[in-house]
Amino acid sequence: MGVKREYSDIEDLPRVGPSTATKLRNMGFHTVESVAMATVEELVEAGIPEKTARMIIDEARKVIRVEFLQASELLKLRENIRKLTTGSRALDELVGGGLETSTITELFGEFGTGKSQICHQLCVNVQLSYEEGGLEGGALYIDTENSFRPNRIVDMAKYRGLDPDKVLENILVAPAYNSDHQMLLLEKADEIIKKNNIKLVIIDSVMSHFRSEYLGRELLARRQQKLNKHLHRLERLATVFNAVAVVTNQVMSRPNDFFSMGAYPVGGHIIAHRSHTRIFIRKAHGKPGLRIARLVVSLDRPEGECVFRITNEGVIDEEEV
């Protein structure tokens, strides 16, 4: 058995001097945890010699477990996975007790169905204690459509008996002006996540910039490549920091298609691939405030539907008025 090594900053890693540390940071690796999830190719791309890169990554990986595991050990690791309440018991039950840490959840639906409202509610809920269904942490909200409204957080916090000012303090909002900026924000996020004990990372909405900037068939491959990198980054952050990751996505109307929902999430197979849980949200016609959530894809839950409500107080159960 070797001596147990503790690295708190990237500079503590062997062979990482000031110049290598700068190279790592420029590539978006600000913490030992994110270096552990890097590939040798990424570090070589940053100008670090291959042998050194391999060594740095190997050392960083001693901090977190990245190795072959027995299924029984895997089960134990799964015990670290926590669930974040949505605010509605019915919706929590649909997804197996709340949104899971370490994976990406996609909320998709038409404009005005309440995707951003749910995101706001999650920013409040993540701050609750574990007993109350929270993760005792903060939220990072990457806002691509200027959807974030602090006054909604205040409404929701008050209803849950929380101090609105404190709740607002623990939500970091980053407006993203275009897809490159959106990607950059996530690349710079690891240090912020660690420093602020962020347990929820939201991208609302993940596709809007990509969709408007990469028009036409010729750009599709490039778009999907970038999107894949972006979501891969999000997935890694969620895993390393055991945080909940949520992306929202709009739908294109397509009658008589896609699970007979009459709608189709944009982003193609890339988002489908990277989202472990996909929830389709729609309005219940003729019933103001009422919404229907449908679990479309889950790695370990059956498909199903539930009803919940969006009110001035936030996301609540149908009968909770």
Ligand X SMILES: Nc1ncnc2c1ncn2[C@@H]1O[C@H](COP(=O)(O)OP(=O)(O)O)[C@@H](O)[C@H]1O
Helix (H) or strand (E) holding 138: strand 138-143
Task: Indicate whether 277 belongs to the interface with ligand X (CB under 6 A).
Answer: no
239 binds, among Mg ion, ligand X, none (CB under 5 to 8 A by kind): none
| Residue 105 lies near Mg ion (rule: CB under 5 A) | no
* C-beta of 224 vs 311, nearer to ligand X: 311
Tell me how far, at minimum, the Cβ of 113 lies from ligand X, in Å: 4
The count of other CB atoms within 10 Å of the CB of residue 318 is 17
Q: Which amino acid, one-letter code, is at 22?
A: T
- The per-residue DSSP string of 178-190 comes to SHHHHHHHHHTHH
Sign of CA dihedral 48, 9, 137, 153: negative
Measure the CA–CA gap between 15 and 63, rounded to whole angstroms: 16
310: contact with ligand X by CB under 6 A:
yes
Q: Does 266 bind ligand X (CB under 6 A)?
A: no
Phi, psi of 99 (to 5 degrees): -75, 135
Number of residues that bind Mg ion (CB under 5 A): 3
Part of the chain binding Mg ion (CB under 5 A), chosen from 90-98, 147-155, 182-190, 283-291 = 147-155
Among 111, 165, 217, 286, binds ligand X (CB under 6 A): 111
* Residue 223 touching ligand X (CB under 6 A): no
Residue (102 or 116) nearer to ligand X, CB: 116
Instruction: Decide which of ligand X, Mg ion, none touches 261; Cβ closer than 5 to 8 Å per partner kind.
Output: none
At which residue do the structure tokens 């449908």 appear?
294
Question: Which of 16, 142 has the CB closer to ligand X?
Answer: 142
Which of 72, 312, 319, 321 contacts ligand X by CB under 6 A?
Answer: 312
Taking CB within 5 to 8 Å according to partner kind, which of ligand X, Mg ion, none is near residue 127? none
User: Which CB sits closer to ligand X, 70 or 312?
Assistant: 312
Task: Measure the CA–CA gap between 135 and 201, rounded to whole angstroms.
Answer: 12
Region of 109-117, 135-143, 161-169, 230-238 interacting with ligand X (CB under 6 A): 109-117
Q: Which of the stretches 17-25, 116-124, 215-223, 294-302 binds Mg ion when contact is defined by CB under 5 A?
A: 116-124
The CB-nearest residue to Mg ion is 116
What's the gap between Cα 8 and its chain centre? Answer: 24
To the nearest 10 degrees (0 to 180), the angle between helices 150-159 and 115-125 is 60
Is 116 one of the binding residues for Mg ion (CB under 5 A)? yes
Contact between 98 and 105 under an 8 Å Cβ cutoff? The reply is no
Residues 113-172 that bind ligand X (CB under 6 A): 113-117
- CB under 8 Å to 22, separation ≥6 — which residues? none
**Whether the bond into 208 is cis, omega within 30 of 0:** no
If phi > 0 it is left, if psi is from -120 to 50 it is alpha, else beta; for residue 19 that is alpha
Residues of this chain that interact with ligand X (CB under 6 A) are: 109, 111-117, 310-312
